[in-house]
Structure 1
Amino acid sequence: MDRRKIIRAIFLTLICTLGLSVNAQTKVDYRVVPLPHQIFDEAGKRLTINEKSPIINMEPENSMMRRNAEFLAEYIEDHSGIKMAVKSGNKKKGVILLKLGLENENPEAYKIEVNNKALVISGASEAGVFYGIQTLRKAIPVKPTSAIEFPAVTIKDEPRFSYRGMMLDVGRHIFSVDEVKTYIDMLALHNINNFHWHLTEDQGWRIEIKEYPKLTEMGSQRKETVIGRNSDRYDGKPYGGFYTQEEIREIVDYATKRYINVIPEIDMPGHMLGALASYPELGCTGGPYEVRTKWGIAYEVLCVGNDQALEFVKNVLNEVMDLFPSEFIHIGGDECPKTRWEKCPKCQARIEELGLKDDEAHTAEEKLQSYFISYAEKVINERGRRMIGWDEILEGGLAPNATVMSWRGMSGGVEAAKMGHDVVMTPNSHVYFDHYQSTDNARDPLAIGGYSPVERVYALEPVPDELTNEERKHILGAQANLWTEYIPVFEHAQFMVLPRMAALCEVQWMQPEQKNYEDFLSRLMPLIEIYKINDYNYAKHIFDINAEIVPNPKDETIDIYLDALNNGDIYYTLNGTAPVKHSPVYDEVIKIDENAQIKAVTFFDGEKSRVFSEDITFNKATTKPIEALQPVDEGYRFEGISTLVDGLSGNSNYRTGRWIAFRGNDLEAVIDLKKETTIKEAGLTSYVLKGDWIFDMRSFTVQVSDDGKNFETVARKEYEQLGQSDSNGIKKHTLRFDPTEARYVKIIAETEKEMPGWHSGAGKPGYLFVDEIIIN
């Protein structure tokens, strides 16, 4: 018996043992996640259902509608314990009626009508009825009961986007067939209709291809796995696995019954070490190759100058299309280094044969990638399918009919839409669910980095303002992605996507003017009860205390504003001790004017939130007015230049908003100390992560002035360019000088203008991430 069935058995046992307590009627709430487009309260008596109330399928010859009715009966029993009979017929009798025939151009539209005689769900298609069922499912409280009350209502609803996606990577870590089915169930609960399945990687090939048996015999296995973030330490344990074609068909069928399309991704021409280890003749060097045991990007890629490699691609894609009926076939196309192609005789011969030349926009090797992508697209188009790939497929020119999945921000999607290509928006700034969900990395499971809390996911607007009305039609929808380098077990995968998937589904389904984050949070609680009865391991960060910490130059204080989802009392301390119910109760604002360690907690449902903790550190620059003389990088601006005097220190996650970045220009900022002050030391903290193009400063200069116009240099230090072996992490830079009277202090930190030759971004400017300015 699986865990879900065990939970249901316990639930039904609870119903039997509660006796009279289940006799009270339970009232539904139609304000669910995602919120329906229109809800009209109607006059009249409520409808009551119980075990004598049938579900009538009004389309008796339609097997999909019969299945819809069975789903609804199962959901009602899961939530309430009430077992409803499922019947078929074309007579309008019964309590819950399911039917087709809704007139709406959107095939996923549905309508729910409730009066004291019947509840009718009608859809523009079977999928529309299914989404109406999902709304009804989420409206019914999770509570043992003998009867359910439905207020009279008319609900009209349809999704904003036709493409509503969620990706799961199984190349790095694989999950069982039952776990993949559970993932699909989670998608159905959130009205998501596309399951993007990332099946091949440098670290493992996960799909059986009959014509190339070594792909699973060898390519699906790696000898060991790196520990942590490419620590150069390994666990020494062989790891592998793959899905047979029979299992693939089983999963596709399971998804189809839930109106979810499965999009396979066979990543090419990069991320192919699983294939190269199996068939080394497909690479530029001929190997030997091995399935990659660490994360990141490999230089070994398919040899596009090799006709045998192109034949391999054709055969694999055709076999994949035999398994997946999906209109879209994903070919990856991302993170493909051109290093091997630049030196490969076959690739260079292909470049010469095709007449490819460098120009201002693209190198010949980038154009070679475009040739390859166009070749793969032709194979896919010949089967009447459509190719989709990551936004790197734009490099070298876009294939004629390609659809772009824009992940490196929104710009790739904007470019593609302006060219007349369809786009799915999946920017890593908002919807990469392998990112951390809070700023408290130490208490969360290891993640790849980044910071994408529920609120940031909810804030995504997939259709950029800069597009014309015609161009906006090319934005098919939005998707979130779960990469699994640091997610070895399925419970961890659930933790990373829930409840962020709930925020995503409102982005995908609702019109933007309807969205409201506070209202979403109030509607999220009943959905979490459904997570519980299905034994989904969801993250509880939404119950944490939210803190807004703002430097107040006028009062020379750090002002702290706290709130919590449950709206209960928040208890806090400022001396680092653990808060309890006898601690001070938060009220409006906490003003800090000296070093402090604030801790806060709230209580809900007999439990307490995680303890919020933050160190506030003062120096002579803290809370003082600061002006940026050169612009902060827009991608990492966050709260702007005041971040450097807010009394807070950044940690090893540079996306939390505690760091700001400069690129191509320097940090140059002036702090007004408000009065003549004796100073003798200035410091600045930087963060280095070379793999992400984040380098340290090349020089650090401190200047002083008494009028804010004429500055004198009191200290300066130059730094060597970072080498490949230099460490990443937080770097503290301090300059000391003779005691000096000054009112204004200018801090200048020079950025890395050209990254070194050993780096993949050689010659391009690096980022400089900086945090707190210290003046003493």
Structure 2
Amino acid sequence: MRKKAYLLLVLSWISLLPTRAQTQEIPASNLGLVPLPLEVKAYDGKFTLPAKIVIAAKTADEQNVAGFLKDYFTVLGKVATVTPDANQATVKLKIGALTSKNPEAYQLTVDQSGASITASAGPGLFYGAQTLMQLLPPTAQETIAVPYVRITDEPAFKWRGNMLDVARHFFPVAFVKKYIDYLAAYKINTFHWHLTDDQGWRVEIKKYPKLTQISAFRNESLVGAQQLMKKPEDYKYDGIPHGGFYTQEEIKDVVAYAQKRYITVVPEIEMPGHSVAILAAYPELACKPGPYQTRTLWGISDDIVCPSEETFQFFENVLAEVIPLFPGKYVHIGGDEAPKDRWRESNLVKGIMKKEKIKDVEKVQGWFNNRIEKFLLAKGKKLIGWDEILEGGISPKSTIMSWRGEKGGIEAARHGNEVVMSPASHLYLDYGQNPVPHSPVEPLMIGGYLPLEKVYSYNPLSSELTPAQHKYILGVQANLWTEYIPTPEKVEYMLFPRIMALAEVAWTPSAKKNYADFQQRLGQQFPRLDAKNIKYRVPEPAGLDSTKIVKQGDKATLTLTSIVPDAQIRYTLDGTMPNETADLYTKPLALPVNRNLKIRAITVTPKGRLSVPAEVVIP
């Protein structure tokens, strides 16, 4: 009997093993995962989902994550139920011990028995679920099969952030939640919410009702690119009032929404600069008598709050209402672009400098920040600010967000301060995506040039720092300023696909990054964006680059490619703008040289969306 039982056990075990063909390893890039996990083993076997899916979940975190999977299975046309019983479950979720102690780490396995995700905490379980969703198709299909995988994963950095500026243009709660969903899908765990600036105040403060009656609205907005305006007559306005604000209840709702997705919301309340909207409602806080109005121009204003006791009382009262709304560790105070012209002229500031023995007016901002920081620390919060706060001197407890390159972040890390790297050169997603400045084929934007590849190339760990100093680099953040981004559709255009490059910079160790491999995986993300109706920027065809032209005799050969699956490439040879009816590219183009031919080509997605044209002149 013992031999028979043993034989049955062996046969049962053998029946669960994949066949030799199924266990053959395949390239991880075939899975199309973004960001790339730390360790991936992919196999050519697949698990076919049953008509009814059972998700095993017991704890609060397991049940929370199960809810997201259940919703996704519903989108795929599957019926899913959640049960605490792991027996016969299709997907098993488990909070348990892992080799890694990182709460964002997870292990994901898909085999003959289904899928299982194990993590030591809720965040890791959630990220494992996001990876599983990327292994599933983006839309409903009659038969859905999930590839066999063994994934062990954890992030390279703690702070993986993205900032949305709602002060320059206000976005409703529904879109802010959608934005948070974008971050969650790519394992970005910090939402920096830029709530106040010269052009608008967006948070309800009950002690100061005029902030939402006056400061939350501006009379009109500038039309066109301000940086191109040289004469007074160039400045034209739309005559349309713009504004809005979030009630404290709405903010609580957004924060709770983010928490379910394991995203920390960091509020930014700008001080002492970028405060004209405050002065519009409370001009007594200025060094120079008003009146003021919420600013209609972009850029920097010389008018900032005066560092008076009334101003400190104002900000302490504001923060006393803001802090309970945001349970996260950090409060961002801005601190950037604060001209000191008004302070230099102020007798009050001169008195402060004499009393505090401050010889440089720039150092007064450091004194200002230190007072605010003491208030925040007493409330259990940490101060974070843009790298300008270094100029006035900072305490060892302050955190620096380095945006003017890496210099400020390097200096702060050498002093032992926490740092978030956020250089405009690589991570300002309001910058253009076309090498032609203010290109007529692109929507209006602030300028600059930040292609996908440059975002991807960024490494937050500067070689100027020692390995011991690298530990002060919390992570990386991209920023989306909205002076020229008034609609959700344009937010999506500027965000995608560059946010996916950011995700890999933040999650995947630099040594494992490879741009060609990333592009291959990225291509498999576009159908997912289409399924969610995200208005991403369609990548133009590759190959129209003077370095890619192969010349031989009197001919030049151009080979064009697109990373968008099943896309068409349409082109013209006479310099005209191609559209979906232009010549279809089917094979490399052999073209004559010495005729100054201007070739333009576009990508046409399966959904009929067009890229901007790529172009080259063959001399």
TM-score for both structures, normalised by structure 1: 0.70
**Distance in 1 between residues matched to 2:192 and 2:605, nearest whole Å:** 37
Secondary structure at the counterpart of residue 128 of structure 2: helix
- Equivalent residue runs for 1:132-143 within 5 Å: 132-143=128-139
Q: What's the CA shift string for 1:93-148, capped at 9, x where partnerless?
A: 31110001132211100001222123210012011000000000011112422442
Alignment of 1:253-332 (within 5 A): 253-304=256-307, 306-332=308-334
Alignment map for 1:512-523 (pairs within 5 Å)? 512-523=510-521
Give the SS at the match of 2:268.
Answer: strand
C-alpha contact 2:557 2:591 (8 A) present in aligned 1: yes
How far off its partner does 1:595 sit?
4.0
1:423 has 2:419 as partner: yes
Larger CA deviation: 573-582 vs 401-410: 573-582
1:121 aligns with 2:111: no
Residue-by-residue CA offset, 1:551-570 (whole Å, 9 max, x unaligned)? 99x99999896542249997
Q: CA-to-partner distance for each residue in 1:45-70, whole Å, 9 max, x for gaps?
A: 6432222231111xx2x223212101
Higher relative contact order (CA 8 A, sep 6+): 2
Q: Aligned runs of 1:548-627 on 2, under 5 Å?
A: 548-550=545-547, 563-566=560-563, 575-576=574-575, 580-581=582-583, 586=588, 592-593=593-594, 595-601=596-602, 605=606, 610-615=612-617
Paired residue for 1:342, among 344, 349, 356? Answer: 344
Moved more, 175-184 or 394-403: 394-403
Compare 406-415 and 261-270 and name the one that shifted more. Answer: 406-415
- Report the Cα offset of residue 377 of structure 1: 1.1
Q: Distance in 1 between matches of 2:547 and 2:365?
A: 48
| Pairs aligned (count) | 574
Matched letter for residue 476 of structure 2:
A
Match of 2:127 in 1: 131
CA separation of 1:101 and 1:30: change in aligned 2, threshold 3 A: farther
- How far does residue 351 in structure 1 lie from its aligned partner after superposition? 1.0
Which residue does the alignment assign to 1:65? 62
Partner of 2:35: 34
Cα contact 2:337–2:388 (8 A) shared by 1: yes
Change (3 A) 1:340 1:523: same
Secondary structure of 1:376 counterpart:
helix
Do residues 228 (structure 1) and 224 (structure 2) align?
yes
- Decide whether aligned partners of structure 1 residues 330 and 562 sit closer, same or farther in structure 2, where only a CA change above 3 A counts: farther
CA deviation profile, 1:654-712 (whole Å, cap 9, x unmatched): xxxxxxxxxxxxxxxxxxxxxxxxxxxxxxxxxxxxxxxxxxxxxxxxxxxxxxxxxxx
Tell me the residue number matched to 1:207.
203
* C-alpha separation in 2, matches of 1:190 and 1:392: 30
C-alpha deviation, 1:479, in angstroms: 0.7
- What per-residue deviation string (whole Å, max 9, x for no partner) do you get for residues 483-506 of structure 1? 111111111111110111111100
Distance change >3 Å, CA 195–CA 560, structure 1 → 2: farther
Q: Does 1:157 align with 2:159?
A: no
Corresponding residue to 2:544 among 522, 539, 547: 547
Distance 2:556 2:330 in 1: 51
Query: Would the aligned equivalents of 1:569 and 1:586 in 2 still touch at CA under 8 Å?
Result: no
CA distance in 2, matches of 1:42, 1:225: 55
Kept in 2, the 8 Å contact 1:96–1:118? The answer is yes
Q: Is the 8 A contact 2:560 2:588 kept in 1?
A: no
User: Could you list the runs of 5+ residues in structure 2 that have no partner in the other structure?
Assistant: 1-27, 227-233
- 1:257-306 Cα offsets, whole Å, 9 max, x none, are 110000000011000011111111111013111110111101001101x1
Equivalent position SS for 1:197: strand
Compute the displacement of 1:322 (Å): 1.3
Describe the shift of the 1:423–1:115 C-alpha distance in structure 2 as closer, same or farther (beyond 3 A): same
- The one-letter amino acid paired with 2:118 is S
1:443 corresponding residue in structure 2 = 441
Higher helix share: 2
**Greater strand fraction, Structure 1 or Structure 2:** 1
Cross-structure match for 1:379: 375
Q: Determine what percentage of the aligned residue pairs are the same residue.
A: 42
Partner SS, residue 218 of structure 1: helix
Q: Deviations over 1:630-662 (max 9, x none)?
A: xxxxxxxxxxxxxxxxxxxxxxxxxxxxxxxxx
1:616 Cα deviation after fit: 6.7
- AA in 2 matched with 1:52: K
Deviation at 1:41? 3.9
CA distance in 2, matches of 1:570, 1:146: 30
Is 2:568–2:584's contact at 8 Å kept on the other side of the alignment?
Answer: no
Partners of 1:496 and 1:194 in 2: how far apart? 19
Which range moves more in the overlay, 373-382 or 249-258?
373-382
- Whether the 8 Å CA contact 2:111–2:149 is kept in 1: the answer is yes
Conserved in 1, the CA contact under 8 Å of 2:136 and 2:145? no
Q: Which residue of 2 aligns with 1:95?
A: 90
Specify the structure having the higher radius of gyration (Cα): 1
TM-score between both structures, scaled by the size of structure 2: 0.87
Task: Judge conservation of contact 1:521–1:565 (CA < 8 Å) in 2.
Answer: no
Q: Give the SS at the match of 2:501.
A: helix
Residue in 1 aligned with 2:3?
Answer: none
- Find the residue that maps to 1:85 and give its secondary structure: strand
For 1:356 and 1:489, how far apart are their aligned partners in 2?
A: 45
Q: Which runs of 5+ in 1 are unaligned?
A: 1-27, 358-363, 618-776
Against the structure 1 CA distance between its residues 68 and 367, is the aligned structure 2 distance closer, same or farther, given a 3 Å change threshold? same
Aligned partner letter, 1:98? L
